[in-house]
Structure formats: C-alpha cells, structure tokens
Amino acid sequence: MRKTIIAGNWKMNTTADEASKLATEIKARLTGFNHAELLICPPYINLAQVSKVVNKSVIKIGGQNLYYEQSGAFTGEISGQMLKSVGCDYVIVGHSERRALFGETDELINRKLKAALDSELIPILCIGEQLEDREAGLTEKVLEKQLDGSLKEFPTDWMEKIVVAYEPVWAIGTGKTATPEQAEEVHRFIRDKLSQEFGGTVAEGLTILYGGSVKPDNSDSLFAEENIDGFLIGGASLKAESFERIAHSASKES
Ligand code: PEP
C-alpha cells in the first residue's frame, strides 16, 4: 500500500514566533486527521521548537536539506543525525532551489540520500524539469538523468524507504500548476521507469508526490489522479487554513 503524504515546505520563512504559531494552528486544525501522513518542514533553526509543538500529534516534521557527513568541520551544515535528534522523520533532498541556487548535482544528491537513510530519515527526492526542457520535449530525458544520477547504486530495499516528489520547476512558486493530466503522465512515467529498474512491487509501492503551486482549488483534481500520492506544498503550506484544505483532498473519495 502506498502511503499518502501531505507535506509543507516552509522554505526560508517564519521567525521563531511565527513558526510556533503556524505549527500550533496546523496541529489544532488537523487533530485526529488520519487520511494521510502530515508533514511540515520548517527552517532548521525552528525545528526543535516546532517538534515540541507537534509532539504527540499526527504532524511529523522534516528538514529541508542535510549534509552527507554526520559531523565534523563543515561550517554551516546540518547532518542527518542532527535532524533525527530533534525529532525529524523526513528530509527533503535535491529541491530545485537547492539545485538551481546552490549548485547541487545529482552526485551530491545521491550522497545526501544515502546519508539520510543512514540516519533513518525518509528522504523526499525532488526531481523536475525546467520550462525550456518541457518545451523542447525533453521532460522524460531530464527526469531520467536526475533519477539515474540520484539513485546510483541504490539497492532495491533502499527504494522501499524513499519518497519521490515530481516538481516541475516552471510550476514552483509561479502560480502555474501542471494540469492533472500533465502531472499524471509524468508520475506514470516515473513509476514505469523505476519498475523497470527495481521491479513492479517496489515501483507500485513508491509514494510519488506532486509539487508546484498546489492550492486548495486545484488539489482535489490533482489528488484524483491514480499515480499522485500526495503533495509537496510551498507557498500554500504557510497558511494553516490552506494546508488544512489541501490535506482534506486526501480524505475525499476519488
Ligand atoms: C516547493 O517549494 O516545493 C513548491 C512546490 O512550492 P510552491 O507550492 O509554492 O509552488
């Protein structure tokens, strides 16, 4: 059975007070929610306090990134074991903003995925094409390269412990969402490709999230697609009400 996940990526938003307030409101609105795994990913500096806020609730927390070493002279970096120690269960790896603004390569992302698994975190591997790639008909090629590089030397049992998020870069923070058909086509492609490499059982069990301007008014139709198993939400996760409304897409019959 694939797990449904509704995840919020707060990015570089929220001061300490704002983070506690937002987490408190999300927790209150979603008490007892059991239609999906609920995950919030605040900035590193707010993780410990948000962890206390959501303790013993249905809300899980995750990091937005990690470094591949566990400790040492790596000024400014955070390791998997540090994330785990403040209560994280998940970590986002290879977000398009990390790739585009901080030069993350598939090779680096591969090391980070392995480090996350070593720390018993569930990594959410982000992949997605740029607008030029899509317009040039290169979407599948780009995704294939990202998957091959990021998942290099991955044994099958590791694949059972990760989540993939398809996030077309042209849809992130732009208000332009992929149509449900466009997203479904790519999710199917990802599942088929991984099925060829890791087998049908692993691929069918893999949770594949969609991300890119998910809002309460488009989440129902996206979630209704067979291969969309939840969302990675940026902007709309910063308002408790919209996060709650999007989460409720997972509670509706499709
Ligand atoms: C994201 O940050 O992963 C994202 C999808 O952002 P937004 O929902 O704002 O497009």
Which tens digits make up the pLDDT trace of 207-227?
999 999 999 999 999 999 999
**CA separation for the pair 149, 142 (Å, rounded):** 11
What b-and-e string marks burial along 72-85, b requiring 16 or more CB atoms within 10 Å of the CB?
Answer: eeeeeebbbebbbe
- Would you state the pLDDT for residue 176? 85
Question: pLDDT-derived band of residue 253, with 50, 70 and 90 as boundaries?
Answer: low
What is the pTM assigned to this prediction?
Answer: 0.97
Minimum-distance ligand 1 atom for the alpha carbon of 172:
10
Crossing angle (nearest 10°) for helices 47-54 and 16-29 = 20
- For residues 184-189, average pLDDT: 98
Q: How far is 251 from 247, CA to CA, in rounded Å?
A: 7
* Amino acid, single-letter form, for residue 234: G
- In tens, the pLDDT along 59-74 reads 999 999 999 999 999 9
d(CA 193, CA 109): 19
Query: What pLDDT does residue 175 have?
Result: 83
Catalytic residue among 167, 184, 225, 244: 167
pLDDT at 252: 77
Helix (H/G/I), strand (E/B), else coil: 105: coil
Residue 254 has pLDDT above 70, yes or no: no
The count of other CB atoms within 10 Å of the CB of residue 70 is 14
- The residue-averaged pLDDT of 140-152 equals 98
Q: What is the largest CA-CA distance in the chain?
A: 50
Q: What is the pLDDT of residues 12-42, one digit of tens each?
A: 999 999 999 999 999 999 999 999 999 999 9
Q: Looking at ligand 1, which atom is closest to the CA of residue 235?
A: 9
Tell me what pLDDT residue 90 has: 98
- Bridge partners, residue 208, by sequence: 164
Please tell me the predicted confidence (pLDDT) of residue 46.
98
Distance 195 CA to ligand 1 centre (A): 27
Token pair of 48 as six digits: 């410990």
Pocket test for ligand 1, best of 172, 215, 222 (most atoms within 8 A of CB): 172
Mutate to test the pocket of ligand 1, among 213, 222, 249 (most ligand atoms within 8 A of CB): 213
pLDDT at 174: 87
122-134 pLDDT, tens digit each: 999 999 999 999 9
Domains along the chain? 5-250 (3.20.20.70)
**Residues 97-115 pLDDT 10s:** 999 999 999 999 999 999 9
User: What pLDDT does 173 receive?
Assistant: 85
pLDDT, mean of residues 76-91: 98
Tell me the C-alpha distance between 143 and 187, whole Å.
Answer: 11
Ligand 1 centroid to Cα of residue 160, in Å, is: 25
Please enumerate in sequence order all residues whose Cβ is within 8 A of that of 165, keeping only pairs 6 or more positions apart, or say none: 7, 92, 124, 125, 126, 127, 208, 209, 210, 211, 232
Helix locations, the chain, DSSP H: 16-29, 47-54, 80-85, 96-102, 106-118, 131-135, 139-150, 156-159, 180-198, 200-205, 219-223, 240-247
Q: Given ligand 1 and candidates 40, 218, 232, which is best to mutate, with the most ligand atoms within 8 Å of its CB? A: 232
- How many angstroms does the Cα of residue 38 sit away from the middle of ligand 1? 16
Token couple for 42: 């605040």
What is the predicted pLDDT for the residue at 1? 77
Distances (CA, A) of 166 to 13, 153, 216: 22, 21, 19
pLDDT for residue 177: 86
Residue 193 and residue 214 in contact, taking contact as beta carbons nearer than 8 Å: no
For residue 25, give both structure tokens: 């409101």
Q: How confident is the model at residue 245 (pLDDT cuts 50, 70, 90)?
A: very high
Interval between CA 209 and ligand 1 midpoint (Å): 12
Tell me: the pLDDT tens digits for 160-174? 999 999 999 999 988
Contact 212 CB / ligand 1 (< 6 Å): yes
Q: Tell whether ligand 1 has an atom less than 6 A from the beta carbon of residue 233.
A: yes
